[in-house]
Structures are given as C-alpha cells and as structure tokens.
Amino acid sequence: MTEWVMKPKRYVPDLRRLGALGEGNYRRLQRLRHLEQEERPVSEFELHRGDLYLGRVRIEVLQAARYTETLYLEQVHNSGRWLNNPQLTVRVYHDASLAEVISCYRDRRIAPVNDYPNRYMHHPDEKVQVNSFLADWLDYCLKFGHTPFELNLGPARREAP
C-alpha cells in the first residue's frame, strides 16, 4: 500500500490585494495628515470616543525625498490599556500613491513571503496582515482622532472628509 504525502501548498502573495491596501493606506494617511493646516515633521492627535480617552497618535517624518517619505507611526496610551501600542514604519510612495508598512515594532523588517513554520512563527502572509492592520488603524484614527487644540474648543470638532 502506497501512502501519499501531500506537500503543503506554497503561499503566493495576492499582489492586487496588496496594491489595493497600499492605495487605500496612502489615501487614509493623506486625509489624516491634511487635518492639520501646515506640514510639520511631527504631527500628533488624540483619540477620543465620546468622553473616553483612547490615546495619542504620533506621525513623524523620518526621511523625505522627492517621491518618497518614510514615516514612523505610533500610538501611546499611558494607562496600559493596549498590550502593545502600535508602532509602524511606513514607506510612502507619492509618485505611485502607495503606502506600505516596512517594519513594525522593534525595527523588524517584514518579508513579502515567509516560509512556514519559521523561527519567529511569522505568518506566510504577514505583509498583507500588517498592511491590513494599518488600514484598520488609520480608519479608526480618522473616525476618532482630534487635535488637542480642537478638544479645548469644546464641541466643535473637525471631521475627516
């Protein structure tokens, strides 16, 4: 009797999905950064849902060139509500209107495809998952983000377009 051993199917990245995430993340970042009137190397805003303070988000320009920027995004919440505060490095390609996560947390580079299993137990589609997380997080920031100045004015708040 012959036993058939099936090889695991190798993961093939969905480039359309990754491209769509990159385009969407670019638009989301542009909307968030345009909430402020002037371009600055560091911008910050607070997240509030009603009276509940959800933390502060900081976007810092690490590197800027003619067609690209490298941004560092982090959320800080002092009361320890998050297990891990998001910390992402994002490369923005202005000529292609794309934004992609190039590292998360401790300067770890994200490979386009990971063999599985691997030493660090990264998922085969980790790049897609991290960029999906960025999309969700930026949507959350657009919905609940306020600049501190606006919060001091009272009920008037700037909504994302």
pLDDT in tens, 15-41: 899 999 999 999 999 998 876 555 678
The model's pLDDT over 36-64, given as tens digits with 9 standing for 90+, comes to: 555 678 888 898 888 888 889 999 999 99
Mean pLDDT of the chain: 80
User: Structure pTM?
Assistant: 0.77
100-130 exposure pattern, b = at least 16 Cβ within 10 A, e = fewer: bbbbbeeeeebeeebeeeeeeebebbbbbeb
Q: How far apart are CA 36 and CA 65, in angstroms?
A: 21
In this model, does residue 109 exceed pLDDT 60?
yes
The model's confidence at residue 13, banded by pLDDT at 50, 70 and 90, is confident
Structural tokens at position 112: 């386009």
CA distance 133 to 17: 13
Torsion sign across C-alpha atoms 117, 119, 121, 125: negative
Q: Which residues pair with 76 in a beta bridge?
A: 56
